[in-house]
């Protein structure tokens, strides 16, 4: 278990991590370019502004995505910590930069806790911000097991739910679930600007909910969007197509042309129903059970650096990338073997298990998510 | 004060109105095409399924916008009530139809309470749904004062905040604050459909807030959008332009072209900041004070049918349409004169007061919103 932590960047997320760790007895050292941000976090009980006298177990870099690699390099030269992680909501670009120029990329694992508030700054921080929320780790091909384990420790201290992904898959997904929605909300909110007070009277709870995310700090979000620009452009392009189609249908309805009306109405109903269906398919928040009919494939890995990343690459190559959730299940913090559990559609589980085993991985295949007491060996009938 | 009410359409809004009135001692009669919806509302304590033995004071038509005129005509032929209002979120189209074909358009005033939940149906109803929420009334040129007064009574029973608007201005505004945002949220939600369970893991509170309004019932919302299609198309067209501009900026950022990067980054920051500024300009929910530097112009009107609508038209002609909030301030329910208070930017108030007075209206001008004890006569120095 980690006993000492450094938080670099005492904003909302960094201070919340510090608060969570401090209340579990970890010694927390606070760093920030702004002395007043450090002081504020210190006054909140998040830790001490005094620098550590020896390398801490783990440093959390709570800085914007474009700054991660530079700050990591700077702190590694100083010898701040034995290992490092970050909390930026974009992973692939920073990972590339880390691999290219950080002094010790093996000591780093990218991370992203899915938690936040539209308020920012240390005064908005809360120690329970991450409770029961998903926290993604994106180990690179060079990430060492100890670095990974210490990040897992931190997630445990914060009450988060760890999951493992490749950085590219992560970025593609958050473009869809976070970044593009943020921009669409900003477009809607911005349209209200400069209107009369009467418009404000007719703003209801629906509008407020729909635009809340647009309140996020503009410079941080510009950094995030820019760092994930290719994926975000992809989602926006698809939304642009959808919007054009929708606008055509609404225009047809407005001219009341009977020839197009039935079809336009069907298009409109269809869009609304697709949105409803997608929302109803979501698990109950914060993170309920995933789809039914999933099975487990558990793979035991050793402490060799990069092995976890290789496993993820291999599994992705066998088709188990996008549909699969990978999470560590061994109690973390020990030096023993780590078990990665893939949750995968049941129909695909046996194939994945066989292929991994044939490639030399140490695999246990469980047919039924619920059947915890009777793990089946690969190839045994379901 | 109204003593008897009929609610036609016992869905979420109709049943909530019924519950609010019933708990204040009003006799409520429930009607719906679905016998089980009536029975459910009855069991919830919203009123009785027995038809009234004589015309009730007021009937609330809680039916989709496209059905308002037909249901009004049907119920007026039956003699259900002495006056009628509705709760549809689109006003101009139904008003046109009512003026064209209802037996007694003078007995009708359009209305729209700004309240709701994404759940629908009588079981989701709550008597406090409208508490402190804005409720718009859109009297037509034929609406009688008694019909208007009884609708005001109902708003009072429900705890709502009445405001008066022209139906066209209402529709233009809700296209912006409700209808287009709903469709944008649907587009975002629909993009998530058919994705893997991993995408669901990375859905956070931000996405859920941003898409909550998209859960509204598909057929009702199709009816709303279709009835307000011209205004909604206008807002969507503007959003389409904004989205194209945004996409260009994000694409430029993704190719990392230094020539365009600075400008694209500025465009992106600018959009985010405009959204934030528009949201920060909103009053605190549900309805806080409006912009500072507003003054009152109070106009006393008589019971002549259509006088209120003529006043609104006249005020709009003097430039006091879009920037002005008009609300009734006389204790309602009496036969005495009704006072309409215009809240208008202070710089314009004196001019409006003078013009209305010159046109023969009975005007009192107050210089300062807060200065309630010392009303100033028109022309007196601030």
Q: Residue B133 and residue A204: Cβ atoms within 8 Å?
A: yes
Q: Residue B200 and residue A281: Cβ atoms within 8 Å?
A: yes
Q: Residue A192 and residue B205: Cβ atoms within 8 Å?
A: no
Nearest Cα residue in chain A from B180: A188
Nearest Cα residue in chain B from A193: B278
Asked if residue A376 is part of any domain, the answer here is no
CA distance B103 to chain A (A): 25
One domain for residues B226 and B205: yes
Task: Find the CB nearest B177 among A163, A199, A253.
Answer: A199
If phi > 0 it is left, if psi is from -120 to 50 it is alpha, else beta; for residue B288 that is beta
Q: How far apart are CA B125 and CA B46, in angstroms?
A: 9
Q: If you average pLDDT over every residue of chain A, what do you get?
A: 86
Task: Find the CB nearest A200 among B184, B196, B282.
Answer: B282
Q: Of B113, B151, B137, which is closest to residue B14 (Cα–Cα)?
A: B113
CA distance A323 to chain B (A): 5
Give the pLDDT score at B294: 66
Q: How far apart are CA B275 and CA A191, in angstroms?
A: 8
Question: Phi first, then psi: what are they for B197, rounded to 5°?
Answer: -60, -25
Q: How far apart are CA B54 and CA B52, in angstroms?
A: 5
Q: Which of residues 21-80 of A touch B (CB under 8 A)?
A: none
Name which of B188, B283, B322 to mutate to probe chain A: the one with the most chain A Cβ atoms within 10 A of its Cβ.
B188
B249 and A233 in contact (C-beta within 8 Å)? no
Give the pLDDT score at B213: 93
Any idea of the CA torsion for A233, A235, A237, A238, to the nearest 10 degrees? 170
Question: Phi first, then psi: what are they for B77, rounded to 5°?
Answer: -60, -40
Task: Find the CB nearest A233 among B207, B219, B250.
Answer: B250
Q: How far apart are CA A60 and CA A158, in angstroms?
A: 13
Q: Residue B225 and residue A133: Cβ atoms within 8 Å?
A: no
One domain for residues B186 and B312: no
Q: Residue B204 and residue A178: Cβ atoms within 8 Å?
A: yes
One domain for residues B355 and B298: yes
The mean pLDDT of A192-206, rounded to a whole number, is: 87
What percent of chain B clears pLDDT 90, i.e. is strictly above it?
62
Alpha carbon B264 to its chain centroid, in Å, reads 38
Q: Of B140, B149, B134, which is closest to residue B167 (Cα–Cα)?
A: B140
Give the pLDDT score at B197: 80
Q: What is the pLDDT of residues B101-152, one digit of tens each?
A: 999 999 999 999 998 766 778 878 889 999 999 999 999 999 999 999 999 9
The mean pLDDT of A92-104, rounded to a whole number, is: 97
Residues from chain B that touch A233, judged by Cβ atoms under 8 A, are: 247, 250-251, 254
The mean pLDDT of A100-106, rounded to a whole number, is: 97
Give the pLDDT score at A55: 98
Give the pLDDT score at A63: 96
In the structure, what pLDDT confidence band is assigned to residue B212 with cuts at 50, 70 and 90?
very high
Q: Which of residues 262-281 of B touch A (CB under 8 A)?
A: 265, 268-269, 271-281
Last residue within a domain, chosen from A165, A181, A209: A165
Instruction: Read off the CATH number of the domain in which B93 is found.
Output: 3.40.50.720
Q: If you average pLDDT over every residue of chain B, what do you get?
A: 86
The mean pLDDT of B78-104, rounded to a whole number, is: 97
Give the pLDDT score at B320: 63
Tokens of A104: 């010790």
Pick A101 or B292 by higher pLDDT.
A101
Residues from chain A that touch B237, judged by Cβ atoms under 8 A, are: 247
One domain for residues B123 and B204: no
Asked if residue B248 is part of any domain, the answer here is no
Q: What is the pLDDT of residues A223-235, one digit of tens each?
A: 999 999 999 999 9
The mean pLDDT of A142-170, rounded to a whole number, is: 96
Radius of gyration over alpha carbons of chain B, in Å? 23
Nearest Cα residue in chain B from A274: B190
Q: Is the pLDDT of residue A377 over 60?
A: no
Asked if residue A140 is part of any domain, the answer here is yes
In terms of residues, how long is chain A? 382
Q: Is the pLDDT of residue A21 over 60?
A: yes
Nearest Cα residue in chain A from B225: A250
Asked if residue B43 is part of any domain, the answer here is yes
If phi > 0 it is left, if psi is from -120 to 50 it is alpha, else beta; for residue A346 that is alpha
- SS3 for chain A is CCCEEEEECCCHHHHHHHHHHHCCCCEEEEECCCHHHHHHHHHCCCCECCCCCCCEEEEEECCCHHHHHHHHHHHHHHCCEEEEEECCCCCHHHHHHHHHHCCCHHHEEEEEECCCCCCCCHHHCCCCCCCCCEEEEECCCCCCHHHHHHHHHHHHHHCCEEEECCHHHHHHHHHHHHHHHHHHHHHHHHCCCCCCHHHHHCCCHHHHHHHHHHHCCHHHHHHHHHHCHHHHHHHHHHHHHHHHHHHHHHHHHHHCCHHHHHHHHHHHHHHHHHHHHHHHCCCCCCCCCCCCCEEEEEEEECCCCCHHHHHHHHHHHHHHCCCCEEEECCCCCCCCCEEEEEEEEHHHHHHHHHHHHHCCCEEEEECCCCCCCCCECCCCCC
Q: Residue B205 and residue A272: Cβ atoms within 8 Å?
A: no
Give the pLDDT score at B381: 38
In the structure, what pLDDT confidence band is assigned to residue B73 with cuts at 50, 70 and 90?
very high
The mean pLDDT of A125-141, rounded to a whole number, is: 94
CA distance A78 to chain B (A): 31
Q: Of B150, B143, B140, which is closest to residue B334 (Cα–Cα)?
A: B150
One domain for residues B136 and B223: no
Report the SS3 class of residue B191: coil
**Residue B247 touches chain A, beta carbons under 8 Å:** yes
* Sequence-separated contacts (24+) of A152-156 with Cβ below 8 Å: A152/A328, A152/A332, A152/A333, A153/A1, A153/A2, A153/A58, A153/A332, A153/A333, A154/A2, A154/A5, A154/A17, A154/A21, A154/A58, A154/A60, A154/A85, A155/A111, A155/A113, A155/A130, A156/A332
In the structure, what pLDDT confidence band is assigned to residue B359 with cuts at 50, 70 and 90?
confident
**Residue A100 touches chain B, beta carbons under 8 Å:** no
Q: Is the pLDDT of residue A19 over 50?
A: yes
Task: Find the CB nearest A197 among B197, B199, B323.
Answer: B323
Give the pLDDT score at B336: 56
One domain for residues A331 and A210: no
**Residue A283 touches chain B, beta carbons under 8 Å:** yes
The mean pLDDT of A239-264, rounded to a whole number, is: 92
Last residue within a domain, chosen from A146, A165, A184: A165
**Residue B248 touches chain A, beta carbons under 8 Å:** no
One domain for residues B226 and B333: no
Last residue within a domain, chosen from A165, A190, A210: A165
Query: B145-157 and B12-22 helices cross at what angle (nearest 10)?
Result: 80
Asked if residue B254 is part of any domain, the answer here is no
Give the pLDDT score at A62: 97
Nearest Cα residue in chain B from A288: B201
Pick A296 or B145 by higher pLDDT.
B145
One domain for residues A82 and A149: yes
Task: Find the CB nearest B173 among A202, A275, A290.
Answer: A202
Q: Which domain holds residue A38?
A: 4-165
Residues from chain A that touch B242, judged by Cβ atoms under 8 A, are: 187, 190-191
One domain for residues B122 and B68: yes
Q: How far apart are CA A49 and CA A168, in angstroms?
A: 35
Q: Of B225, B231, B243, B114, which is closest to residue B176 (Cα–Cα)?
A: B231
Give the pLDDT score at A36: 85
Report the SS3 class of residue B179: helix
Q: Residue A178 and residue B243: Cβ atoms within 8 Å?
A: no
Q: Residue A200 and residue B290: Cβ atoms within 8 Å?
A: yes
Asked if residue A257 is part of any domain, the answer here is no
Q: What is the DSSP code (8-state) at residue B254?
A: H
Q: What is the DSSP code (8-state) at residue B273?
A: H
Residues from chain A that touch B254, judged by Cβ atoms under 8 A, are: 229-230, 232-233
Q: What is the pLDDT of residues A31-66, one digit of tens each?
A: 999 988 898 888 888 999 999 999 999 999 999 999
Name which of A66, A112, A128, A210 to mutate to probe chain B: the one with the most chain B Cβ atoms within 10 A of its Cβ.
A210
Comparing A230-239, A368-377, B82-91, B140-149, the range with the smallest average pLDDT is: A368-377
Q: Rounded to 5 degrees, what angle do the CA atoms A256, A260, A261 make?
A: 50
One domain for residues B20 and B161: yes
Tokens of B272: 């985010």
Asked if residue B50 is part of any domain, the answer here is yes
The mean pLDDT of A272-287, rounded to a whole number, is: 85
Under 8 Å CB pairs connecting chains A and B tally to: 341
CA distance A89 to chain B (A): 11
Give the pLDDT score at A305: 64
Instruction: Read off the CATH number of the domain in which A351 is found.
Output: 3.30.70.260
Comparing A183-187, A266-270, A311-315, B198-202, the range with the smallest average pLDDT is: A311-315
One domain for residues B160 and B178: no
Instruction: Read off the CATH number of the domain in which B207 is found.
Output: 1.10.3660.10
Task: Find the CB nearest B226 among A133, A265, A287.
Answer: A265
**Residue B208 touches chain A, beta carbons under 8 Å:** yes
Q: What is the pLDDT of residues B255-300, one digit of tens each?
A: 977 888 899 999 999 999 999 999 999 887 654 334 456 677 888 8
Total structural domains in chain A?
Answer: 3
The mean pLDDT of A331-355, rounded to a whole number, is: 71
One domain for residues A161 and A189: no
**Residue B253 touches chain A, beta carbons under 8 Å:** yes
Q: Is the pLDDT of residue B203 over 80?
A: yes
Residues from chain A that touch B312, judged by Cβ atoms under 8 A, are: none
Q: Is the pLDDT of residue A317 over 90?
A: no
Pick B27 or B329 by higher pLDDT.
B27
The interface predicted TM-score (ipTM) is 0.79
Q: Rounded to 5 degrees, what angle do the CA atoms A109, A114, A117 make?
A: 130
Q: Which of residues 286-305 of A touch B (CB under 8 A)?
A: 287, 290-291, 294
Q: Which of residues 308-327 of B touch A (CB under 8 A)?
A: 322-325
Give the pLDDT score at B293: 60
**Residue A136 touches chain B, beta carbons under 8 Å:** yes
Asked if residue A201 is part of any domain, the answer here is yes
Q: Of A170, A114, A163, which is closest to residue A327 (Cα–Cα)?
A: A163
């Amino acid at each position: 278990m980690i006993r000492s932590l450094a938080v670099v960047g005492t904003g909302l997320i960094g201070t919340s991590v510090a608060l969570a760790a401090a209340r579990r007895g970890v010694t927390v050292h606070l760093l920030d370019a702004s002395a007043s941000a450090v002081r504020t976090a210190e006054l909140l009980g998040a830790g001490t502004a005094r620098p550590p006298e020896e390398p801490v177990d783990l440093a959390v870099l709570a800085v914007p995505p474009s700054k991660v690699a530079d700050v990591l390099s700077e702190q590694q030269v100083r010898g701040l910590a034995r290992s490092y992680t970050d909390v930026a909501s974009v992973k692939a670009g920073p990972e590339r930069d880390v691999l290219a120029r950080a002094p010790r990329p093996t000591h780093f694992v990218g991370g992203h806790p899915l938690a936040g508030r539209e308020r920012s700054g240390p005064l908005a921080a809360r120690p329970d911000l991450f409770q029961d929320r998903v926290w993604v780790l994106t180990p690179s091909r060079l990430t060492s097991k100890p670095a990974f384990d210490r990040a897992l420790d931190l997630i445990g201290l914060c009450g988060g739910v760890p999951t493992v992904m490749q950085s590219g898959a992560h970025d593609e997904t958050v473009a869809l679930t976070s970044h593009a929605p943020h921009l669409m909300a900003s477009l809607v909110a911005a349209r209200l600007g400069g209107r009369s007070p009467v418009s404000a009277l007719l703003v209801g709870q629906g509008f407020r909910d729909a635009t809340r995310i647009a309140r996020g700090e503009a410079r941080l979000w510009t950094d995030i969007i820019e760092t994930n620009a290719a994926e975000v452009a992809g989602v926006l392009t698809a939304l642009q197509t959808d919007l054009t189609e929708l606008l055509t249908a609404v225009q047809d309805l407005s001219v009341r042309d009977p020839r197009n009306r039935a079809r336009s109405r069907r298009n409109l109903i269809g869009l609304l129903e697709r949105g409803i269906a997608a929302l109803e398919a979501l698990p109950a928040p914060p993170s309920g059970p995933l789809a039914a009919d999933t099975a487990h494939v558990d793979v035991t890995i050793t402490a060799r650096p990069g092995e976890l990343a290789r496993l993820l690459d291999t599994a992705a190559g066998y088709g188990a990338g996008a549909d699969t959730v990978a999470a560590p299940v061994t109690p973390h913090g020990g030096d023993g073997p780590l078990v990665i559990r893939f949750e995968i559609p049941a129909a695909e589980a046996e194939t994945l298990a066989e292929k991994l085993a044939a490639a030399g991985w140490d695999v246990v295949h469980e047919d039924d998510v619920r059947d915890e007491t009777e793990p089946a060996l690969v190839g045994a009938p379901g």
